Amino acid sequence: MKIAYSHLVRYIQENPTIEQVSESLFQLGHEHEIEGNIFDMEFTPNRGDCLSINGLIRDLAVFYTIDLNQEIYDKPLSKLNMDFENQSENICPRISFLKLEIDRIPELYKNSLEDYFYDLGINKNNFFTDVSNYLSYETGQPTHCYDANTINNKLIFHEIESDEEFETLLNKKITLKGKNAVFSMNNNVINLAGVVGGKNTSCSRDTLKVFVECAFFEPEAIIGKSVKYDIQSEASHKFERGIDQDCQDKVLRRFIQVVSEHTNILEMSIVSYKYRKNHITQIPVNVHKINQIIGINLNEHDYLNYLAKLGFISEGGLINIPSFRSDVKTQNDLAEEIARVIGYDNLSRAEINIPKINKQNYKDLENKLRYFLLDHGFYEVINSSFVGTFSQEAIKVDNPLDSNRAYLRTNLTNSLVENLLFNERRQKDSIKLFEISDVYSSNNGIHKKRKLSIIASGRVGLNYQDFSKKINKKYLEALFHEILPNEIFDFKILSRELLDTKLTNEIVSLEVDIKSLPNDILFYKEISKPPERLNQYSPISDLPSSFKDISYAVKNYNKIQDLQDLMLNYENDIIKNVFIFDYFKNEKAQEIKIGFRIIFQSIETTLTSSQIDLIYNDIINKSLEIEGISIPGI
């Protein structure tokens, strides 16, 4: 996120230099780079409260004297009679609407609104959207503006689970799949909640009357939507990290104030819906515990004074956590706040003596396993050790960076199932994956195990020998018998009943302790070699793929290699893969029959038949130029 230095320093009485502010931000743990007079900020996922001017100013208050003199409209407002129904109160427990009508669109912006666009080099859109975007930058609370003339029926917020086409205000058509929180009107989606609004109800440069929506959405309902639908959304970035539930009235009154500084308001009214009582987190005052965690000797007065500057109020021996700091839940979190204020570099150092444990090194055995699996067409994956699934043996992380992944995983198979489904949704028909990693459990103490897990489904391989064979339990048992003939492995067939998939291919999995495997595997002679250079990442397409098969008759055996070189090395942006799926040498006819499958897929658009045929015909023409090559039927 880009923040202008001038937009911060206007609220700081000491008027520090950009270098001084930078040093303070680094001490507070806010990584950034300076580009001219702009801070390019990087925030950890748990600090969504800092994604605004006001959020950073709250943190900087521990070092400077702050005067947050942002005017708001403070007069009474009439109640808006809004035809609205919330059918998913668990996802949106709090929402407000503001109706505004103005007499004209301002020709020029002024004050902080103009500074926002000028200093950050941002393009303007339309007046109400511009005010909305600015206030998101200033307060951290996204709002969405509907052209009021387009809202002609009941507005419904609900979670849907169906395939529905939706055209965004960015003129992009997307198909909503799976569960999505949306606003609907007349049985049509008009807003993908927390991500992007719809084209049909969006504001234009001529809009004079709006409904401004200001909501709190549970982060779990928003996370991943912008990535899933390939939408750049500043709003979803903030909603995913959690926003302040208690700021809606102040933000909408600030909205009125900014609008009133630019034009005359003819009508304004407001309504707020609160469906559940806010939970106030309270943590006992325990400076001894804080000193113990950090390794300092801080007195209670200074401790509470530091917290007060950060917005934490102590009362009756308890520390009330402000609504904008939903990430603070434990004494460890409070200790982290104090460590940031004092500065990690200023904490005294102490040696940690960890007793040495003699442990067996399984590195050589693991590498042999890797080569064995790579030689047989498997791909290694590396998944996160943190998951959101609770189990009795799972270890809960006290202060996770991502509240949706608060547990250490107890197995590898569940992660591999997600990997397999991800690949199946992208039309991969031969999936063979493995992972080697540690898992943890808390059954009678903390235990760590090194595991190998594999998962496989679909075709055995994309080659003429394996193309028609399907992966099953028997195939994998035979494969492992090759390397460890004296071992019996418990391969499992995973049920697809509870998985989000329509495929019926068997899913076979295995998970074993590395230390339970015998050293026989060390005698395996690998075929694979380390790559001469690292492969560069290439984007993964979510768009549909198509394939075409070509079967050749080769009379001149000497030309078979020329044909393979042409087919397997043919390059084009829309060719995803080429492989031989059929091969037969007919000695009687002195002819080789060879079949190639070409897979077409774009990362930008759904391919048309004409686009595919253009490349396909070029391949055919070039291949038929090779002596002794023909295509039966052509």
Distance CA 374, CA 368 (A): 10
Is 485 part of any domain?
Answer: yes
Tell me the CATH number at 116: 3.50.40.10
240, 337: one domain: no
From 102, 22, 48, select the one nearest 404 (Cα to Cα): 48
Residue that finishes a domain, picked among 460, 489, 523? 523
Structural domain tally of the chain?
5
pLDDT at residue 112 tops 90:
yes
Q: Looking at per-residue confidence, does 468 or 356 come out higher?
A: 468
pLDDT band at 144 (very low <50, low <70, confident <90, very high): very high
Do 173 and 233 have their domain in common?
A: yes
Range of the domain at 588: 546-630
Q: Is the residue at 533 inside a domain?
A: no
Q: Computed from CA positions of residues 332, 335, 340, 345, in that sequence, does the dihedral angle turn out positive or negative?
A: negative
Q: Hey, what amino acid is at 175?
A: T
Choose one of 60, 86, 106: the last residue of a domain.
Answer: 60
Quote the pLDDT of residue 427: 87
Q: Which amino acid would we find at residue 213?
A: E
C-alpha 137 chain-centroid distance:
21
Question: Are the beta carbons of 421 and 431 closer than 8 angstroms?
Answer: no
459 in the same domain as 414: yes
Whether 173 and 258 map to the same domain: the answer is yes
CB 321 within 8 A of CB 331: no
pLDDT of residue 136: 97
Residue 353 lies in a domain: no
Task: State the CATH number of the domain containing residue 370.
Answer: 3.30.930.10
Per-residue confidence band for 379, with pLDDT thresholds at 50, 70 and 90: very high
473-493 confidence digits (pLDDT tens): 999 999 999 889 999 999 999
Q: Which two tokens stand for residue 317?
A: 């021996």
* pLDDT at residue 100 is higher than 80: yes
Whether residues 260 and 310 fall in one domain: no
Q: What is the mean pLDDT of residues 506-535?
A: 88
For the segment 616-634, the average pLDDT, to the nearest whole number, is 91
Provide the pLDDT for residue 402.
Answer: 75
111 has pLDDT over 80: yes
User: What are 333-374's pLDDT values in tens digits?
Assistant: 999 999 999 998 888 887 777 666 665 567 889 999 999 999
Query: Is residue 595 domain-resident?
Result: yes
Residue 384 has pLDDT above 70, yes or no: yes
Asked if residue 439 is part of any domain, the answer here is yes
* Residue of 362 and 36 predicted with greater confidence: 36
358-to-302, 361, 446, 542 alpha-carbon distances in Å: 45, 9, 18, 48
Q: What distance in Å separates the CA atoms of residue 193 and residue 180, rounded to the nearest whole number?
A: 8
Question: Tokens 């949106």 sit at which residue?
Answer: 92
CA distance linking residue 475 with residue 218, whole number of Å: 45
Find the mean pLDDT for residues 101-126.
Answer: 95
pLDDT at residue 397 is higher than 90 = no
- pLDDT category at 501 given cuts 50, 70, 90 is confident
Claim to verify: residue 248 and residue 309 sit in the same structural domain: no
The amino acid sitting at 313 is I
Q: What ranges in 327-437 are assigned the alpha helix state H?
A: 331-342, 363-375, 413-425
Confirm whether 8 is domain-assigned: yes
Question: Would you say residue 131 has pLDDT above 90?
Answer: yes
In whole angstroms, how far apart are CA 594 and each of 412, 560, 563, 583, 633?
Answer: 40, 9, 10, 4, 14
Same domain flag for 381 and 333: no
Residue 588 has pLDDT above 80, yes or no: yes
Closest alpha carbon to 547 in 572, 579, 569: 579
Residue 295 shares a structural domain with residue 381: no
Please state, rounded to an integer, the average pLDDT across all residues of the chain: 92
Chain centre distance of CA 542: 15
The CA distance from 327 to 336, in Å, is: 11
Residue 90 to residues 13, 217, 220: CA-CA distances in angstroms?
42, 9, 11
Among 346, 380, 396, the domain-final residue is 346
For 523, which DSSP code? Answer: G
Answer yes or no: do 306 and 416 share one domain: no
Percent of the chain with pLDDT over 70: 99
Nearest CA among 10, 42, 6, 13 for reference residue 25: 42
Residues 319 and 388 in one domain: no
Q: Is the four-CA dihedral 373, 379, 385, 388 of positive or negative sign?
A: negative
Q: What is the pLDDT at residue 535? A: 75
Please tell me the predicted confidence (pLDDT) of residue 70: 92
Measured CA to CA, the distance from residue 261 to residue 242 in angstroms comes to 30
User: Are the C-beta atoms of residues 272 and 265 closer than 8 Å to each other?
Assistant: no
Which CATH number goes with the domain that contains 25? 3.30.56.10
- Contacting residues for 400 by C-beta, under 8 A, at least 6 apart: 46, 386, 406
